[in-house]
Amino acid sequence: MNQIKKLLIIGFVWPEPNSSAAGGRMMQLISIFKENGFEITFASAALDSDFMVDLSEFGIEKKSIELNSASFDDFIAALNPNVVLFDRFMIEEQFGWRVTEKCPNAIRILDTEDLHCLRTARQKAFKENRKFEIHDLFSEEVAKREIASILRCDLSLIISEFEMDILEDVFRINRDLLFYLPFLVDKMSDNDLLKLPSFEDRKNFVFIGNFLHEPNWNTVQYLKEAIWPLIKKDFPEAVLEVYGAYPSQKVLQLHQPKNGFFIMGRAEDANEVVKKARVVLAPIRFGAGLKGKLLEAMQCGTPSVTTTIGSEAMHGVLPWNGIVENDPEQFSKKAIALYQDENLWKESQKNGVVIINECYQKSSYSDKLTAIVNSLLTDSKSHRLHNFMGNLLQHHAYKSTMYMSKWIEAKNKS
């Protein structure tokens, strides 16, 4: 009889798959481990939210934990997981040393979501009105923390091939510590397109994105101030609907129905919203990782107009499902052309199906991930022996993290 394998996921937040791509990504990971016989516990120090998924429906135990508390030590020692998955490097910093101390044999996996140092460096370059250069990464404090976290873990899941290249070529991370795992979606066919609303049955431009994510808020500002006036000048009947979870007051203030610019707030069903739209607009100016909204557009048969940052690492050498353009004037002209030209629209829609089937198939990645995890479970000692820098960081870096945490814990008790 096979022994039950236990997975502990320590979440930055509780998963909200209908609010963000990160939430959808987490549910995809859960699905892979469930299918491979893991008993899963999901723990987080975050407060419950109104839109979090009901984990019990997926047979997952939910556990609230505390930061800087020895209660976590007792919890993980009793659970004794075979694998621990950290949701972002900040969580590994907070809990990794406790996992190592109480469950030294547990395989430690980091889901990076995206490279935070890349997103931060690009945002800083944008705000300073200069071009981002790859060497900017070396001056980011967050890069030192993030790379250290990757080195301390047995395996890190990387969502973007561009970020894989950065980690290998710029930071010189051993490939054995990295696993490329993009978003994973179901295969599509031309028949699936026929079941979706037709060109004639769709109307309006749409943008959708969680407003807690700074690149999304910046994109909406850019749409309102630069892109939309150009579109309205040449296409006065145009309407843009902006959807997103957690809109702040400054987002809501952009609502201007007389100008065809509608702030719609949270979408109850993002897929339905995108399916009814004719074109997705996403002039993203900084960020990292893969853009869930653009993959969702492909699934909904909705062509998109985005930037090189938006499309980065999303389509390999395949034609985009719409337009990639950085210049605001050209962006606006091509967005109108895509909206009005049925042949261009249909060709773009089919490009999206090809991208989905070539780049995001679960079967291409889930078996490989399972094989690597099983290999680590069988012989983690050899793997760790070859990760000298990781061992070095385990020895030194955790000491400072550990003592800081214990100091905060003692302070909280006094």
10-residue stretch averages of pLDDT, the chain, 414 residues long? 84 93 95 96 96 96 95 97 98 94 96 96 97 96 95 97 97 97 93 95 97 95 98 98 94 96 95 97 97 97 98 97 98 98 98 97 93 95 86 68 72 75
Q: Tell whether 196 and 172 lie within a shared domain.
A: no
Q: Tell whether 206 and 280 lie within a shared domain.
A: yes
Alpha-carbon distances, residue 73 vs 18, 77, 187, 396 (angstroms)? 32, 6, 42, 20
Residue where a domain terminates, one of 320, 344, 359: 359
Q: Tell whether 336 and 199 lie within a shared domain.
A: yes
Bridge partners (DSSP) of residue 39 are 6
Proportion of the chain above pLDDT 90, given as a percent: 88
Q: Tell whether 213 and 105 lie within a shared domain.
A: no
Q: Tell whether 140 and 176 lie within a shared domain.
A: yes
**Which CATH number fits the domain that encloses residue 347?**
3.40.50.2000
Q: Tell whether 254 and 339 lie within a shared domain.
A: yes
* Residue 237 burial (CB count, 10 A): 7
- With contact defined as beta carbons under 8 Å apart, do 152 and 181 qualify? no
Instruction: Give the domain range for residue 63.
Output: 5-184+362-413
pLDDT for 395 equals 62
Q: Tell whether 204 and 349 lie within a shared domain.
A: yes
Q: Tell whether 176 and 148 lie within a shared domain.
A: yes
For residue 203, give both structure tokens: 């109307």
Q: For residue range 57-113, list pLDDT tens digits in order.
A: 999 999 999 999 999 999 999 999 999 999 999 999 999 999 999 999 999 999 999
Alpha-carbon distances, residue 280 vs 224, 300, 310, 323 (angstroms)? 15, 11, 12, 10
Q: Tell whether 170 and 194 lie within a shared domain.
A: no
Side-chain half-sphere exposure of 387, counting CA atoms within 13 A: 24
Residue 380 has what DSSP assignment? H
Side-chain half-sphere exposure of 39, counting CA atoms within 13 A: 10
Burial 362-374 (b: 16+ CB within 10 A, else e): beebbeebbebbe
pLDDT for 1 equals 40
Q: Tell whether 175 and 244 lie within a shared domain.
A: no
Residue where a domain terminates, one of 313, 333, 359: 359
pLDDT for 388 equals 82
Q: Tell whether 255 and 333 lie within a shared domain.
A: yes
Tally of domains within the chain: 2
pTM of the model: 0.94
pLDDT for 282 equals 98
Q: Tell whether 114 and 98 lie within a shared domain.
A: yes
Residue where a domain terminates, one of 359, 376, 403: 359
Residue 26 CA to residue 48 CA, distance in Å, equals 16
Residue 251 CA to residue 249 CA, distance in Å, equals 5
